[in-house]
Structure 1
Amino acid sequence: MSSKKEDRKLNKSEQQQQQQQNPKETNQLQTSKAKKKQRRLRQEQQIEKLTSKIPYGISATLNLHKAIEITKEKVKRIAKECRRLNIKFLDREFDVSELDSCLYNQHSENHSAINDSKRVNKLFKEPKFYADGVSPGDVQQGWFGDCWFLSAISTCTNIPGIIETICVERDEQVGDGDWVSTVVDSQLFVKTDIEKNTSDIAVAKCKDPNETWLSLLEKAYAKIHGDYESIEGGFVSEALEDLTGGVASSFETSEILDIDRLWKEDFLNVNKSVLLGCARSGLGTVSGLVDGHAYSILGSAEYQGTRLVKVRNPWGNTEWTGAWSDGSELWTPESMAALNHRFGDDGIFWISYEDFLDYFNLYYRCRIFDSRWNVYSTWINYNVRPKSDGKFILNLSKKADVIIVLQQPDSRYFHKGPAYLYQLAFRVFEKGSSTYLIRSPYTKTFYPWGRNINLEIELEAGTYEIIPRINAIPNPDVKNDKKSDDTTKDETNTDETKTEETQTEEYGNQNSESTATTTQPTIESEFILRVMVSVLKHMKDHFLFLKIKKS
């Protein structure tokens, strides 16, 4: 004990001697640290002030605020110019009067029954962006196969303010709407019958015949991805993630280990900490449930010992016909009043939790956030190869709930998808340890090449290393002239063919650089790591600071 005290005394005396020898350098260092701390606190205060008005459910980041301000300014500038010239706004970047360029990718061989476009004021008698707020019942799918996106919109309407935040600014007099840094005009696709002299809206529309927000929001989403074909077919989870900035996951209901835990953690928290969706795929159309179709989960309830799930079909009709469906003998005046339910072919129905798990084989979950969470992210170029070639350092000054997400670019931006399909994984190590603390989940799921992989964990204060690993196979929908798909697939390992020991070896020693040892080609691509850290607002002097870097 005495030797340790003496060592501490010596260290202190050495520090004092150094300070006496270099007082100028010491003062400069202290001043620099103080300035960094002040700058950091100012940034946090600015973020807190700017994001305080963002509604719950939207990932409140400084970038979101900047995007909103840029969008508002853009709309005002366009509206001013249109009034000066006395003409309606025409979006030259996404002019739907040029049918093929906005309907389909230029390489597509598809043909469409859509043959015209018209302005909103020619399609709606008394057009209004919002007629009476937003609700799940507003959403009605149009001609396009984007039920996954519309189901997500229907789900988001359950939380006040989400849709209103996405739909940033508009000027209905000149005919523009604006969402997520994208401006669109008021032209919409229609199917025109020349003989009958009628035009039917081909895009998604609201139940109210004069409400326009849904049609224009769908158009903005199509514009962001290049054309309407690019948003046909998808996962509800990814659309929820796009609309809220949350963290999405997809599961097969048959893979759930503890259904009681799932009910308590997710279904009883729907529209609170999570947004949910579901789908039926490859099982056929049974009891009114459509195969290959996505649905919204609007709520849940326990009534007299029965667990029930409230679901909606984005078509606005065609419902479940089994137990607890509309007209079922299980309904009583008391249960209808307790669950606030009315019969009608509006696409909304209740189904027991047990039947839900049996009849819907795909389940989507989006974890949503508010301003109590700090979000950190960084893009990297990463070499896809058997062993990891980089890591991220995570420093936590306090115990915290942490969500880690490894994500790849959205394949919708590529015709037929990217050249390679990537399977993402990562492990978290305590610094200096050779045994991983936790790894990203892996299941033999329906879509192993998903857009992201994530996990949620409570971590103690300390330093952690996040080590990604990315597997790749050539995309069978994209021609690869260099090497046949079969040859490359044989050389590319996947988790399904590996033992636990092999996987551990391929992560390598996280304290040293890894090198490729097989003939697998090295592929460079771009990925993003996002980390969400919970922060209690009253702990202003104890903010959690996170540093992420590639080693």
Structure 2
Amino acid sequence: MPPPDGYHHNSNEDDVNSPNSPLNFLDQNYQELHQNCLTENTLYNDELFPPDNSSIGLFDDLPPQVDMSQVVWKRPAELVSDPNLIVDGVSRFDYAQGSVLGNCWFLAAIGALTFEKDIIKQVMPAEQSFTKDYAGIFHFRFWRFGKWVDVVIDDHLPTIDDELLFVCSKTSNEFWPALLEKAYAKVCGSYADLHAGFISEALMDFTGGTHMYYTLNTAPADLWKIMECAFKSKTLIGCGSNSATTPEENELLHGIVAEHAYTVTGVFEVMSEENAVQLVRLLNPWGEEEWRGDWSDGSPAWDTVCEEVRKICHEVLNNGEFWMSMEDFTNIFENIDICCLCPDFLDDSAECHWTSKRHFGRWNAMITAGGDINETETFWINPQFRVKIDELNEECASGQRPENILVSLIQNHEKRNRNSQENFNIGFYVFEIPFEASGNKPKYEKSKRQVFVRVLH
């Protein structure tokens, strides 16, 4: 929700656009600009995100070996003889995080994105290349605070000594990671505005989906099962590691980077000496630096499973991806983010289908910001929404989680430069409304429930 500078509320305002009919970001129309370049036989130059320091932005701290005065913006054709947007498909192993920009949260989300080909096509429209109708112009699509936007960029990329300054591809002539990162930097204001963040931001911007967040030390006992079901649907999953304040604490992480974003790339259950072990597979967006504990690439634990499982799961490669037990995962990692197009998988049944509604609201500091539940005189003035849960069919009602409601809250950034936007402390309460107080029949029917969702600032 936007910050409190006036109140506006639409009770049921769903998106009017889609990935196939996005809004033009900064009023730049890709088709028109592309055609103009082809007609005039010129390469596109983006005046709204130019190849200069304004697009890089200001960094508080830089590695000592990086001299920004040495940055030269070059097109891919100036770096390699045969540039390609994609080489042999899109993979989580195509790229590695650069040493300048701390955007592991964004790159970890990209790792999750590579598993969902349909979503990739939404974010990175087809029929773009460095050969057919090439004009130095590309476009990408993101979901931003309720609206899909189409973002146009030119293909100038910042380099030092002919090496890309930020994300780099492991295949030298593949440029989709660098161009995707540039488009997202444009949306957020600059490359520097990508420094530090939460993986949930990028997961939602790639999908426009529903976000679920679990703190691992208080996660439900069946979280691994939830993750297993999620991987069978169009779901993107990432996580963040715990902090470490001393060298001793850091050593206990056994190769896990403290306060770092990772992609969750798989779950698998193995039989280890007749004991079932639930495993989680993770990817470090650095493209290296892996877990060194049990079930890591070099762990003797793999000798306790059958050869067939080892062929499926076990690889000894320094590519940043590794397995660990669910127990170690919940101890060493702090949280997990699950972003899905639809949370049907929560019921683990093909018969259960969720419906969704989106509400837009605004706080006014004096009128609608009523504080938390302890503010008894003003709490009632917070924005509130009523949700009716209709009768469930027999299949859903008998499931593990009948009558689910999932509430996700997002703050709308009104400033383009992401790091200049203050994040407010916001939250919500969910209350069940007694049926006799809901204005319906006085008789209480268990199959139908209504709840209030009260949002507070």
Q: Tell me if TM exceeds 0.5.
A: yes
Shorter chain as denominator, the TM-score bin is: 0.7 to 0.9
What is the Cα deviation at residue 411 of structure 1?
Answer: 8.1
Selected match of 1:246 from 167, 188, 209: 209
AA matched with 2:155? S
Selected match of 1:384 from 362, 369, 372: 369
Q: 1:381 to 1:423 in 2, by over 3 A?
A: closer
How does 1:226-305 map onto structure 2 within 5 Å? 226-258=189-221, 261-270=222-231, 272=233, 274-283=235-244, 284=250, 286-304=253-271, 305=276
How does 1:6-21 map onto structure 2 within 5 Å? none
What is the Cα deviation at residue 461 of structure 1?
Answer: 4.9
SS in 2 for 1:381: coil
What is the Cα deviation at residue 93 of structure 1?
Answer: 0.7
Residue 149 in 1 paired to residue 103 in 2? no
- Return the alpha-carbon distance in structure 2 between the equivalents of residues 293 and 378 of structure 1: 32
- Please tell me whether the aligned partners of residues 207 and 341 of structure 2 are also in contact (alpha carbons under 8 angstroms): yes
- Please tell me whether the aligned partners of residues 319 and 347 of structure 1 are also in contact (alpha carbons under 8 angstroms): yes
What is the Cα deviation at residue 207 of structure 1?
Answer: 2.3
- Please tell me whether the aligned partners of residues 282 and 291 of structure 1 are also in contact (alpha carbons under 8 angstroms): yes
Residue 202 in 1 paired to residue 157 in 2? no
Q: Which structure: greater strand fraction?
A: 1
How does 1:480-491 map onto structure 2 within 5 Å? none
Moved more, 265-274 or 145-154: 265-274
- Return the alpha-carbon distance in structure 2 between the equivalents of residues 265 and 214 of structure 1: 30
SS in 1 for 2:159: strand
Which residue of structure 2 aligns with residue 17 of structure 1? none
How does 1:444-523 map onto structure 2 within 5 Å? 460-461=447-448, 464=450, 466-471=452-457
Which structure has more relative contact order (CA 8 Å, sep 6+)? It is 2
SS in 2 for 1:421: coil
- Please tell me whether the aligned partners of residues 116 and 190 of structure 1 are also in contact (alpha carbons under 8 angstroms): yes
Selected match of 1:185 from 154, 157, 171: 154
Which residue of structure 2 aligns with residue 309 of structure 1? 280
CA deviations on 1:421-458 (whole Å, 9 max, x unpaired) are 222213244376669xxxxxxxxxxxxxxxxxxxxxxx
Q: 1:233 to 1:299 in 2, by over 3 A?
A: same
Residue 93 in 1 paired to residue 48 in 2? yes
What is the Cα deviation at residue 385 of structure 1?
Answer: 2.1
What is the Cα deviation at residue 326 of structure 1?
Answer: 1.4
- Return the alpha-carbon distance in structure 2 between the equivalents of residues 138 and 306 of structure 1: 30
Moved more, 231-240 or 363-372: 363-372
AA matched with 2:33? I
Q: Which structure: greater helix fraction?
A: 1
What is the Cα deviation at residue 66 of structure 1?
Answer: 4.8
SS in 2 for 1:214: helix
- Please tell me whether the aligned partners of residues 116 and 234 of structure 2 are also in contact (alpha carbons under 8 angstroms): no
Selected match of 1:352 from 325, 340, 350: 325
TM-score by length of 2: 0.73
Q: 1:433 to 1:210 in 2, by over 3 A?
A: farther
RMSD: 3.0
What is the Cα deviation at residue 216 of structure 1?
Answer: 0.7
How does 1:39-58 map onto structure 2 within 5 Å? none
Which residue of structure 2 aligns with residue 163 of structure 1? 120
Selected match of 1:138 from 84, 94, 100: 94
CA deviations on 1:61-101 (whole Å, 9 max, x unpaired) are 65114535969x93221121012222101111111x212x1
AA matched with 1:350? W
Which residue of structure 1 aligns with residue 67 of structure 2? 113
AA matched with 1:67? S
Moved more, 368-377 or 220-229: 368-377
Which residue of structure 1 aligns with residue 84 of structure 2? 128
Q: Percent identity?
A: 26
- Please tell me whether the aligned partners of residues 231 and 412 of structure 1 are also in contact (alpha carbons under 8 angstroms): no
What is the Cα deviation at residue 187 of structure 1?
Answer: 0.7
SS in 1 for 2:108: helix
Q: 1:118 to 1:147 in 2, by over 3 A?
A: same
- Please tell me whether the aligned partners of residues 298 and 310 of structure 1 are also in contact (alpha carbons under 8 angstroms): yes
- Return the alpha-carbon distance in structure 2 between the equivalents of residues 335 and 320 of structure 1: 23
- Return the alpha-carbon distance in structure 1 between the equivalents of residues 335 and 390 of structure 2: 39
- Please tell me whether the aligned partners of residues 56 and 192 of structure 2 are also in contact (alpha carbons under 8 angstroms): yes
SS in 1 for 2:454: strand
What is the Cα deviation at residue 186 of structure 1?
Answer: 0.4
SS in 1 for 2:85: coil
Structure 1 residue ranges without an equivalent (≥5): 1-59, 193-198, 436-458, 472-551
Selected match of 2:55 from 102, 107, 116: 102
- Return the alpha-carbon distance in structure 2 between the equivalents of residues 302 and 420 of structure 1: 39
- Please tell me whether the aligned partners of residues 411 and 417 of structure 1 are also in contact (alpha carbons under 8 angstroms): no
- Please tell me whether the aligned partners of residues 210 and 343 of structure 2 are also in contact (alpha carbons under 8 angstroms): no
What is the Cα deviation at residue 240 of structure 1?
Answer: 1.0
How does 1:329-368 map onto structure 2 within 5 Å? 329-332=300-303, 334=307, 337-368=310-341
- Return the alpha-carbon distance in structure 2 between the equivalents of residues 420 and 65 of structure 1: 27
- Return the alpha-carbon distance in structure 2 between the equivalents of residues 411 and 289 of structure 1: 35
SS in 2 for 1:379: coil
Q: 1:401 to 1:257 in 2, by over 3 A?
A: closer
- Return the alpha-carbon distance in structure 2 between the equivalents of residues 403 and 120 of structure 1: 44
What is the Cα deviation at residue 209 of structure 1?
Answer: 1.8
- Return the alpha-carbon distance in structure 1 between the equivalents of residues 227 and 155 of structure 2: 38
TM-score by length of 1: 0.62
What is the Cα deviation at residue 349 of structure 1?
Answer: 0.8
Which residue of structure 1 aligns with residue 147 of structure 2? none
- Return the alpha-carbon distance in structure 1 between the equivalents of residues 316 and 415 of structure 2: 38
